[in-house]
């Protein structure tokens, strides 16, 4: 077995030694030993531990791939995630003021994608092991909300009914205001007997909704989420923020940036996470590529009380971004693109006269690329708020405040 000194962490949370050699569950400065398998270190042993090393709070951590950083202190993880964003900006020649990171508490995840497979004795649900398709059961998970944990036996029962021994089900479970919202993919093709069996499970487990490969099988009540004063029932599988306090931190930063703006555009609006709370003070135009999410947002707005006007548009902002003349009437823009960023839309924003931009991102690298486009056009990056709602993972989210050329 050879010894290696860990130099830094990669963006996936693995330690990296010279080579590069990748060593999971290690920290910078540690001396480790193990057996090289390609460029990865197996059979790891910590020879000299870091002062930032802590005992993992979850007994599943060594085998489960759901978390990557439980072996590191909270302070280390916070500093590392701030550093990831700083480095991404520095690579584009940018720097910014950073606000203190906001981290979600343990056991607050309200949404998870479970891997589920039939077995000889029934079924098993959990997360994949690191770098493997082996499913690890997680009865004492420290990440998921306890009410979400109730979905695990439900997912296993669904696999015994509609899964195959060869394949694997993906079961997306979400806590709604009225119970569990479950969307299954990868199962058997629906026929009448399977529909009846799944419908019975919806009643047995008192699920808010059960969808199978995009088709709603049963719905006892609309699986509503609260966005400010509005209650919205997202379509099956629709994007949502992972934790309530993480969403609250993102929204607080966005609200601060938008301030007293009277006309706001919300781009990549989803089901209204930002648009509907912002409508308490401003008229909002929500733009989203998925028509079903736009419809859910609109229905939530129409049924809510005390909100200003919310207009909406189903539009592919990658292929058909809002142009500067369309952006002219807005006092502020909120943009929350997927991991790929929003280069086409950002180039049009850069050519606009919008005075304030609240940029929400889940990828520091594409954010930094888009931030450079804005700053080169004369926008100023005022500050960055990092939000760690994917606790113990390598995932980083942020909100950034840009002011226009004349602000």
- Give the active site residues: 362
What is the distance between the alpha carbons of residues 270 and 159, in angstroms, rounded to a whole number?
30
Does 313 count as an annotated binding residue? no
Q: Is 225 flagged in the annotation as binding?
A: no
Cα separation, 139 vs 367, in Å, equals 36
* Beta-bridge partner residues of 31: 5, 48
CA–CA dist 307, 281 (Å, integer): 8
Is 336 marked as a binding-site residue? yes
Q: Which residues pair with 120 in a beta bridge?
A: none
Query: From the annotation, which residues make up the binding site for S-adenosyl-L-methionine?
Result: 241, 268, 288, 336
Query: From the annotation, which residues make up the binding site?
Result: 241, 268, 288, 336
């Amino acid at each position: 077995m050879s010894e290696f000194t860990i130099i830094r962490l990669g963006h996936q949370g693995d330690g990296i030694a010279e080579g590069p050699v990748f060593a999971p569950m290690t920290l910078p400065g540690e001396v480790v030993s193990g057996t090289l398998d390609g460029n990865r270190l197996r059979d790891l042993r910590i020879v000299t531990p870091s002062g930032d090393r802590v005992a993992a709070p979850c007994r599943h951590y060594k085998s489960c791939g759901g978390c990557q950083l439980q072996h590191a202190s909270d302070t280390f993880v916070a500093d590392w995630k701030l550093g990831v964003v700083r480095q991404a900006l520095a690579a584009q020649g940018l720097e910014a003021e950073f606000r203190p990171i906001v981290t979600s508490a343990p056991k607050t995840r309200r949404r998870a994608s479970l891997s589920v497979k039939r077995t000889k004795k029934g079924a098993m649900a959990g997360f994949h092991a690191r770098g493997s398709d082996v499913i690890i059961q997680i009865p004492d998970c420290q990440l998921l909300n306890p009410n979400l944990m109730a979905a695990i036996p439900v997912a296993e029962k669904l696999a015994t009914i509609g899964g195959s021994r060869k394949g694997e089900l993906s079961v997306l479970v979400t806590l709604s205001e009225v119970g569990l919202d479950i969307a299954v993919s990868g199962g058997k093709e629906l026929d009448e007997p399977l529909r009846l069996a799944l419908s019975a499970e919806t009643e047995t487990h008192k699920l808010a909704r059960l969808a199978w490969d995009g088709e709603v099988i049963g719905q006892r009540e609309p699986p509503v989420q609260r966005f400010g004063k509005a209650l919205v029932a997202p379509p099956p599988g629709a994007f949502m923020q992972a934790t309530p306090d993480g969403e609250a931190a993102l929204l607080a930063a966005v609200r601060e940036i938008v301030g007293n703006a009277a006309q706001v555009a919300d781009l990549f609006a989803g089901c209204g996470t930002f648009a509907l709370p912002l409508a308490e003070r401003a008229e909002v135009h929500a733009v989203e590529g998925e028509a079903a999410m736009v419809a859910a947002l609109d229905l939530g707005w129409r049924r809510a009380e005390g909100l200003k006007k919310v207009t909406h548009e189903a539009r592919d902002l990658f292929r058909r971004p809002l142009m500067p003349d369309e952006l002219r009437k807005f006092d502020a823009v909120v943009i929350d693109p997927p991991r790929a960023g929003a280069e086409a839309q950002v180039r049009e924003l850069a050519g606009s006269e919008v005075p304030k931009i609240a940029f929400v991102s889940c990828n520091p690298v594409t954010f930094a690329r888009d931030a450079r486009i804005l700053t080169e056009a004369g926008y100023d990056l005022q500050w960055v708020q990092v939000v760690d709602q994917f606790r113990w993972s390598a995932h980083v989210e942020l909100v950034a405040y840009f002011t226009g050329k004349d602000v």
